[in-house]
């Protein structure tokens, strides 16, 4: 057992920042001496003294043998991994590296169609061929859950040459699938399970939270420590366990996708966040769960609103657990879209959600929230229910009435690998003239960053119609060159 009280990287960074010396190295502001007064007026001076490069005492991220190695070993023990890497380019680079470490050009990888856009970037980088599985889908709530063991088994039987299985756990809504069964299926075929666990870094620290993926048999887990724990934005970790992953290949892949000038502020924040959770995680998460339960109980009693809960009376293989610190509120009963409700809450009622979708608002409740925050959230929804009800717009009513399955809209029609499509000659066409052409860019309402169209897919009329409806109703489209959707890039024929 390691001493989880230690914070070797943070302690060494502090000592380096305080050591008197003449700095003739990067960055150019020289420990804050040359930093803009505009910045110091906002952030103070202390943080810039610690903005240091890879000095000898601070170790090297890509070949750690000192304090970074020690900090990563402590993190591996805290998160129950055999090896952990610190990430300064977010979970995005971890997911890209996981795919690069397990797949080569032309290899098949089984993954959900509601995968984050970072996984598509990984496919583009390595040239792997996606075998997409549609996740379980709630057409009433318009929410995608997890892929199911049955769907994974069918894909493995149809593609026995697949090199890896990839899943998202939890989803942006906090929904967890049967990771244990899916890991078992992957291992029966002697291939690894990669998990995008970006939103599940807290699972290891409280028994009332869903099972952490490493404890359920995952081989690689990528976690955004900044999303729900106490690290700085962009600070994440990649964890590995078992013998199905080539450790050296993971390290080499991370060298391709991470900055060679890593921020020590981010790295030190990972060290401190790990120590905080190792020492006080269960206590912090107990309080967080109490606040979250109060919020969901009180909001579910407000007329016109409901909250996402795990199904009680019928089992669902794509929805076996729910992260109770993730609160999704359905506002369609008020005649509002999630986009409209988000704008009202943010602009008029002093509450900012994590993200909005057509029918819902989703909130991340963490140990950084207070009782006052919860009270403000509940009061905002009471006001929303009393004062902002409306008759839905015709476009909203039409979309709700049609009740389209989002993943039947995508069509799952891959004609080129994402890499081939990305590097193919392209042309830009008016939006309405792109139907049945091969898409050359990633197009997704964001967040949560689930692509409706991606490079290599045939553009269906239904996908175009859905994107237009989302934009008309106030959604934000990202990934494409023309976010106004007047034009799209397609592969030139």
192 and 308 in a single domain? The answer is no
Provide the 10 A C-beta neighbour count for residue 345. Answer: 25
Q: How does residue 404 score in pLDDT terms, banded at 50, 70 and 90? A: low
Instruction: State whether 320 and 441 are in the same domain.
Output: no
Q: Does residue 234 fall inside a structural domain?
A: yes
DSSP 246-303: -HHHHHHHHHHHS-SS--HHHHHHHHHHHHHHHHHHHHHHHHHHHHHHHHHHHHHTST
3-class secondary-structure state, position 379: helix
Cα 449 to Cα 242, 372, 453, 478: the distances in Å are: 30, 30, 11, 8
At residue 87, φ and ψ (nearest 5 deg) are -120, 130
Q: Rounded to 5 degrees, what angle do the CA atoms 177, 342, 464 make?
A: 70
* Residue where a domain terminates, one of 278, 294, 323: 278
Residues 170 and 268 in one domain: yes
Minimum mean pLDDT among 161-170, 337-346, 379-388, 447-456: which range?
447-456
Structural domain contains residue 443: yes
Residue 475 lies in a domain: yes
Q: What percent of the chain has pLDDT over 70?
A: 95
* pLDDT over threshold 60, residue 468: yes
**Domain boundary at 249, 278, 307, which?**
278
Asked whether residue 419 carries a pLDDT value surpassing 80, the answer given is: yes
What does the DSSP assignment read for 21-87?
----SSSTTTTTTTS-HHHHHHH-SHHHHT-----GGG--TTS--SHHHHHHHHHHHHTT-SEEEEE
Average pLDDT, the chain: 93
Domain endpoint, select from 367, 390, 413? 390
In a domain, 438, yes or no: yes
pLDDT of 423 strictly over 50 = yes
**If pLDDT is split at 50, 70 and 90, which confidence band does 403 have?**
low
Look at the chain and report how many structural domains it folds into: 3
**Is there a single domain that holds both residue 224 and residue 369?**
no
User: What pLDDT was estimated at residue 447?
Assistant: 47
Q: What is the pLDDT of residues 370-381, one digit of tens each?
A: 999 999 999 999
68 with 181, same domain: the answer is: yes
Least confident of 55-69, 135-149, 402-416, 462-476: 402-416
Flag the least confident range among 412-416, 419-423, 435-439: 412-416
The domain spanning residue 413 has which CATH number?
3.90.100.10
Domain membership of residue 1 (yes or no) is no
The token pair at 31 is 């420990």
368: closest CA among 348, 384, 347, 354?
354
Question: Mean per-residue pLDDT for 427-456?
Answer: 85
In whole angstroms, what is the distance from residue 362 CA to residue 71 CA?
Answer: 33
* Residue 243 and residue 290 in one domain: no
* pTM of the predicted protein model: 0.94
What is the percent of the chain where pLDDT is above 90? Answer: 82
Residue 397: predicted pLDDT: 63
Residue 84 lies in a domain: yes
On whether both 383 and 420 belong to a single domain, the answer is no
Which CATH number fits the domain that encloses residue 375? 3.90.1150.10
Q: Which residue has the higher pLDDT, 384 or 1?
A: 384
CA–CA gap between residue 457 and residue 451 (Å, rounded): 11
> Residue 405's pLDDT is what?
57
pLDDT of residue 171: 95
Same domain flag for 134 and 31:
yes
- 266, 182: one domain: yes
Report the pLDDT value the prediction gives residue 312, as an integer from 0 to 100: 77
In a domain, 201, yes or no: yes
HSE, side-chain direction, 13 A CA sphere, residue 72 = 23
Q: Is the pLDDT of residue 449 over 70?
A: no
Q: Is residue 2 part of a domain?
A: no
One domain, residues 61 and 204: yes
Q: Residue 276: pLDDT above 60?
A: yes
Q: Report residue 229 CA to chain centroid gap.
A: 14
Tokens at 184, concatenated? 């078992």
Please list, residue by residue across 259-273, b when 16 or more beta carbons sit within 10 angstroms of its beta carbon and e when fewer do: eeebbbbbbbbbbbb
Same structural domain, 47 and 92: yes
For residue range 19-29, what is the model confidence (pLDDT) as tens digits?
A: 999 999 999 99
What's the whole-number mean pLDDT along residues 73-101?
A: 98
Residue-range definition of the domain harbouring residue 218: 8-278
The verdict on 355 and 221 lying in the same domain is no
Reported as a single tens digit per residue, the pLDDT across 202-239 is: 999 999 999 999 999 999 999 999 999 999 999 999 99
Sign for the pseudo-dihedral over CA of 292, 293, 299, 305: positive
């Amino acid at each position: 057992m390691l001493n989880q009280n230690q914070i070797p990287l943070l302690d060494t960074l502090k000592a380096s920042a305080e050591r008197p010396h003449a700095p003739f190295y990067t960055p150019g502001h020289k420990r804050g001496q040359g930093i803009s007064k505009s910045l110091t007026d906002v952030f103070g001076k202390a943080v810039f003294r610690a903005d240091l490069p890879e000095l000898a005492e601070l170790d090297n991220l890509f070949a750690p043998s000192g304090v970074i190695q020690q900090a990563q070993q402590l993190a591996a023990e805290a998160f129950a991994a055999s090896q952990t890497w610190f990430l300064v380019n977010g979970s995005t680079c971890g997911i890209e590296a996981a795919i690069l470490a397990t797949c080569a050009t032309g290899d098949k990888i089984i993954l959900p169609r509601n995968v984050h856009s970072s996984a598509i970037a990984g496919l583009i980088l390595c040239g792997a061929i996606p075998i997409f599985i549609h996740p379980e889908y709630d057409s009433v709530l318009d929410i995608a859950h997890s892929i199911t063991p049955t769907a994974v088994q069918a894909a493995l039987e149809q593609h026995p040459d697949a090199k890896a299985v990839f899943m998202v756990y939890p989803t942006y809504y906090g929904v967890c699938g049967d990771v244990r069964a899916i890991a078992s299926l992957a291992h029966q075929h002697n291939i690894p399970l990669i998990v995008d666990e970006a939103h599940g870094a807290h699972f290891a620290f409280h028994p009332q939270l869903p099972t952490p993926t490493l404890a359920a048999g995952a081989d690689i887990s990528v976690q955004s420590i900044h999303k729900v724990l106490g690290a700085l934005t962009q600070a994440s970790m990649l964890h590995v366990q078992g013998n199905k992953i080539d450790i050296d290949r993971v390290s080499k892949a991370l060298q391709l996708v991470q900055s060679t000038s890593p921020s020590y502020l981010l790295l030190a924040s990972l060290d401190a966040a790990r120590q905080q959770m190792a020492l006080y995680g269960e206590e912090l998460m107990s309080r967080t769960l109490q606040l979250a339960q109060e919020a969901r109980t009180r909001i579910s009693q407000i007329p016109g609103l409901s909250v996402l809960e795990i199904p009680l009376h019928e089992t669902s293989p794509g929805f076996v657990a729910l992260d109770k610190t993730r609160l999704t509120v359905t506002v369609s009963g008020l005649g509002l879209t999630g986009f409209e409700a988000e704008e009202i809450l943010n602009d008029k009622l002093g509450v900012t959600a994590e993200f909005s979708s057509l029918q819902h608002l989703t909130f991340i409740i963490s140990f950084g929230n207070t009782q006052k925050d919860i009270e403000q959230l509940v009061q905002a929804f009471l006001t929303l229910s009393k004062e902002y009800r409306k008759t839905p717009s015709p476009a909203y009513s039409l979309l709700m009435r049609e009740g389209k399955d989002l993943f039947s809209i995508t069509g799952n029609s891959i004609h080129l690998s994402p890499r081939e499509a990305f590097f193919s000659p392209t042309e830009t066409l008016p939006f309405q003239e792109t139907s049945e052409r091969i898409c050359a860019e990633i197009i997704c309402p964001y967040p949560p960053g689930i692509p409706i169209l991606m490079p290599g897919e045939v553009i269906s009329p239904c996908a175009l119609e859905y994107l237009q409806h989302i934009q008309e109703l106030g959604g934000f489209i990202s990934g494409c060159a023309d976010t106004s959707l007047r034009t799209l890039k397609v592969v030139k024929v």
